């Protein structure tokens, strides 16, 4: 079930340069703190946003700094949704989701963990791939108030 | 990212600070590990207490260091792993790969025991 996401939106657009992900990291961390996510959940948000941005820059734009990556933070009463959009060709989602970087024969691989990390740390991860127009990763983290 | 190296008796202590995220970082870490091994060190500490975050590409850099050291018969320990980075180690099961200590001092002591 898709929860309602409020109208508060913050858009950050960066050139495709890995070092500028640090700015996005600070924004993601500040928003998570503002929403009063516990520290571990805030770390999950920041780590996942960094992974999505890394994928967009490296695999979507092949490090072409002239192409922008958009991070749209949608702040709801009960959840944070982050839409990370690039203009790249997209990828085979099913193939990536089938891979398990924690399998013994993959544990020492130098790459292939980004989406696995996002799916492990967020409540929902989905992909919108539009051929010739780009790819958007949608990350959702729900606030768990009380117990 | 910045890298520095010092020797504590026969242990090489490599300190990383900043963000570990690929690009030029990969070569600088690879080079300093390679140089350290060429100089004969077989006990290496990589201290990441000054690293604020690591992405999956940065994980690959640490794995490469681990594999390079192991292939040379060296022992490598990671120290100063923050809660945020430990979270990524746990979900990727890399905590089963990396030998970690809380601090450089603890790592030095464990090498000598």
Q: Does A14 touch chain B (CB under 8 A)?
A: no
Nearest to B87 among A47, A102, A107 (CB): A47
A1 part of a folded domain: no
| Whole-number pLDDT of residue A104 | 94
CATH code assigned at A132: 3.30.565.10
Residue A147: pLDDT band with limits 50, 70, 90: very low
Q: In what side-by-side order are the strands of the sheet with A124-130?
A: A8-15, A68-75, A79-86, A134-142, A124-130
Q: In what side-by-side order are the strands of the sheet with B43-54?
A: B2-8, B11-20, B43-54, B75-79, B99-101
Q: Does A101 touch chain B (CB under 8 A)?
A: yes
Mean pLDDT, residues A73-89 taken together: 95
Q: Does B4 touch chain A (CB under 8 A)?
A: no
Mean pLDDT, residues A115-128 taken together: 97
Taking a C-beta distance cutoff of 8 angstroms, is the pair B30, B68 a contact?
Answer: yes
A3 part of a folded domain: no
Complex ipTM: 0.92
As for how many domains chain A has, the answer is 1
Contacts of B97 in chain A (CB under 8 A): 107-108
Taking a C-beta distance cutoff of 8 angstroms, is the pair A24, A14 a contact?
Answer: yes
A54 part of a folded domain: yes
- Digit-coded pLDDT (tens) for A22-72: 999 999 999 999 999 999 999 999 999 999 999 999 999 999 999 999 999
First-to-last alpha carbon distance for chain A, in angstroms, is: 21
**Domain spanning B2-108 has what CATH number?**
3.30.750.24
Mean pLDDT, residues B29-51 taken together: 96
Averaged pLDDT score across all residues of chain B: 95
Q: Is pLDDT of B31 > 80?
A: yes
Q: Which domain holds residue A39?
A: 8-142
Helix (H) or strand (E) holding A115: helix A114-121
First-to-last alpha carbon distance for chain B, in angstroms, is: 32
| Whole-number pLDDT of residue B45 | 98
Percent of residues, chain A, with pLDDT higher than 90:
80
Q: Does B87 touch chain A (CB under 8 A)?
A: yes
- The tokens for A90 are 């997209």
A2 part of a folded domain: no
């Amino acid at each position: 079930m898709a929860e309602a996401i409020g109208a508060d939106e913050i858009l950050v657009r960066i050139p495709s340069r890995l070092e500028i992900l640090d700015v996005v990291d600070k924004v993601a961390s500040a928003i998570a703190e503002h929403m009063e996510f516990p520290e571990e959940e805030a770390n999950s948000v920041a780590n996942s946003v960094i992974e999505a941005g890394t994928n967009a820059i490296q695999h979507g734009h092949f490090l072409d700094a002239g192409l922008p990556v958009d991070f749209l933070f949608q702040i709801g009463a009960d959840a944070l949704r982050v839409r990370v959009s690039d203009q790249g060709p997209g990828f085979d989602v099913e193939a990536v989701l089938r891979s398990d970087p924690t399998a013994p024969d993959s544990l020492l691989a130098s790459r292939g963990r980004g989406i696995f990390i996002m799916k492990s740390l967020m409540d929902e991860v989905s992909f919108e791939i539009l051929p010739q127009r780009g790819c958007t990763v949608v990350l959702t983290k729900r606030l768990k108030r009380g117990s | 990212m910045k890298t520095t190296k010092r020797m504590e008796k026969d242990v090489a202590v490599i300190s990383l600070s900043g963000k570990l995220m690929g690009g030029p970082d990969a070569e600088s870490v690879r080079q300093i590990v390679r140089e350290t091994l060429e100089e004969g060190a077989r006990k290496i500490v990589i201290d990441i207490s000054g690293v604020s975050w690591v992405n999956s590409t940065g994980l690959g850099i640490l794995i490469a260091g681990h594999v390079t050291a192991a292939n040379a018969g060296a022992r490598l320990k990671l120290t100063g792993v923050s809660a945020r980075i430990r979270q990524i180690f746990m979900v990727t099961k890399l905590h089963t790969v990396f030998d970690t200590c809380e601090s450089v001092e603890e790592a030095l002591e464990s090498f000598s025991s």
